[in-house]
Structure 1
Amino acid sequence: MAKFQVLFGLVVFITLSVQAMSRDWQHASATFYGDMQGGETMQGACGYGDLFQQGYGLETAALSTQLFNDGHSCGACFEIMCVNDPQWCKANAVIKVTATNFCPPNWVPAPDHWCNPPRKHFDLSMAMFTKLAESRAGIIPIQYRRIPCVRQGGIKFELKGNPYWTTVVVYNVAGNGIVNHVAIKGSNSGWIPMKRIWGEVWQTNVQLVGESLSFRVSAGEGDVLWLENVAPANWQFGQTYEGHGNFRT
């Protein structure tokens, strides 16, 4: 049954249980990119920046076309294990990662490249891949499933743009992890739906400089958070502000 919960000025509208997003184990494959320090895994198609500063670290993955879903899977969390390859799989190894990037198709030299549709594939950081198998394995068979995302603190909003338009990178989302809709409200305005530019980058052309900012975030399972007064009236572009709540795990 849907219900409201009010905590410290935060209104949470709960429509579905987080557990509903968990799935049975499914088959896919995995490779890795970058080095053990993860330098090549920063930034990416989801719009995130320094993954260490944002709390994702090396526990990340780029998803194939089939899984990336035009960026709508950004922020989702997965549990992965290596299977059916005793030569390379490490015994009882299981990792947890967040989708932060896109593994693009490659039609040359062959149409069966691992990130081409309709294949389900995870391109992991090297540090995560080597928890599952030896790096020289190259590509391994895996099983994966969606799991709730566990985050510390509230949802975070990195503000970018200029006085004429504002973009917001939404990250550190717990629970389902996936953001479906974002709306913004200035202290002198009503709620304004934001447009997804790509991944977790959202934009409005309404001028909001000088107004304190609140956000309404809708998660993948239909849960909605109203985060009041996230950024003060003197907020600055290039700064990150943290909401006073997050989705349940």
Structure 2
Amino acid sequence: MTLLALELLIMAAPDCKGNSVRGACGYGEFGRDINDGEVSGVSSRLWKNGAGCGACYQVRCKIPPHCNEEGVYVVATDYGEGDGTDFIFSPKAYGRMARPGPEFQLYSFGVVDVEYQRVPCRYGGYNLVYKIHEKSYNPHYLAVLILYVGGVNDILAVEFWQEDCKGVETHEKSVWSGS
């Protein structure tokens, strides 16, 4: 297992889940609840101009007296640059890196050294799950939000088929639309 070293920053949220409706991946409230709220904003290096939305990572902090050995499994749901870090975790995900008991001691560090690796996403047997975006109310416009992509895969292009195949464009990074 190859792990890359970096630092991690915690994001503030009153309910310990990730960013709400304004998350850069366009997931809306779903982005707070995916993976039971264990989500992360990612830096431009992992963001990949939006192709990194929905990517899954195993992240372990490197403070042995405070951190568990397994780390935490997070899903990228937002873009964020912070203090030279590659991840900005929800408080819930940040606390899951701690050994049982000293979570609050780990929170006091704020920015911590971590190691991580990209891992296959686990979505209960689904390879691809999408939903029709709420902006698709015009009969000549369709927008699809890609929610789950199984494995270690990034979606770089999408085509819709009606009578012929049409390439579509992305806006809001994980929302693909066309008319």
Scaled to the shorter chain, the TM-score interval is: 0.7 to 0.9
Alignment check: 8 A CA contact 2:42 2:87 kept? yes
Residue aligned with 1:155, SS: strand
Residue aligned with 1:41, SS: coil
Equivalence map 1:85-164=2 (5 Å): 85-86=63-64, 89-104=66-81, 113-114=83-84, 120-133=85-98, 134-152=106-124, 153=126, 154-159=128-133, 160-161=135-136, 162-164=138-140
Seen in structure 2, the aligned counterparts of structure 1 residues 164 and 54 have a Cα distance that, compared at 3 Å, is farther
Instruction: State the 4+ residue runs in structure 1 displaced beyond 6 angstroms.
Output: none
Q: Determine whether 1:48 maps to 2:27.
A: yes
Seen in structure 2, the aligned counterparts of structure 1 residues 86 and 36 have a Cα distance that, compared at 3 Å, is farther
Q: Determine whether 1:82 maps to 2:61.
A: yes
Residue aligned with 1:49, SS: coil
In the aligned structure 1, how far is the partner of 2:32 from the partner of 2:19?
A: 13
Alignment check: 8 A CA contact 2:141 2:178 kept? yes
Measured against aligned partners, the alpha-carbon deviations of 1:84-139 in whole angstroms (never above 9, x if no partner) come to: x346x32324110111101146xxxxxxx32xxxxx51101101101224211111
Alignment check: 8 A CA contact 1:26 1:143 kept? yes
Higher helix residue share: 2
Seen in structure 2, the aligned counterparts of structure 1 residues 40 and 127 have a Cα distance that, compared at 3 Å, is closer
1:33 alignment partner AA: M
In the aligned structure 2, how far is the partner of 1:194 from the partner of 1:33?
A: 33
2:108 alignment partner AA: R
Q: Determine whether 1:178 maps to 2:154.
A: yes
Identity %: 22
Q: What's the TM-score once normalised by structure 1's chain length?
A: 0.60
Q: What's the TM-score once normalised by structure 2's chain length?
A: 0.82
Please tell me the root mean square deviation across aligned C-alpha atoms, in Å.
2.3
Look up the match of 2:101: none
Q: CA deviation at 1:40?
A: 5.1
Task: Please list every run of 5 or more consecutive structure 2 residues that lacks an aligned counterpart in the other structure.
Answer: 99-105
Look up the match of 1:31: 9
Look up the match of 1:166: 142
In the aligned structure 2, how far is the partner of 1:173 from the partner of 1:192?
A: 21
2:6 alignment partner AA: A
In the aligned structure 2, how far is the partner of 1:53 from the partner of 1:86?
A: 29
Seen in structure 2, the aligned counterparts of structure 1 residues 32 and 177 have a Cα distance that, compared at 3 Å, is farther
Look up the match of 1:65: 44
In the aligned structure 2, how far is the partner of 1:47 from the partner of 1:203?
A: 13
| Rg comparison, structure with higher value | 1
Higher strand residue share: 1
Seen in structure 2, the aligned counterparts of structure 1 residues 202 and 28 have a Cα distance that, compared at 3 Å, is same
Seen in structure 2, the aligned counterparts of structure 1 residues 167 and 73 have a Cα distance that, compared at 3 Å, is same
Q: Determine whether 1:194 maps to 2:172.
A: no
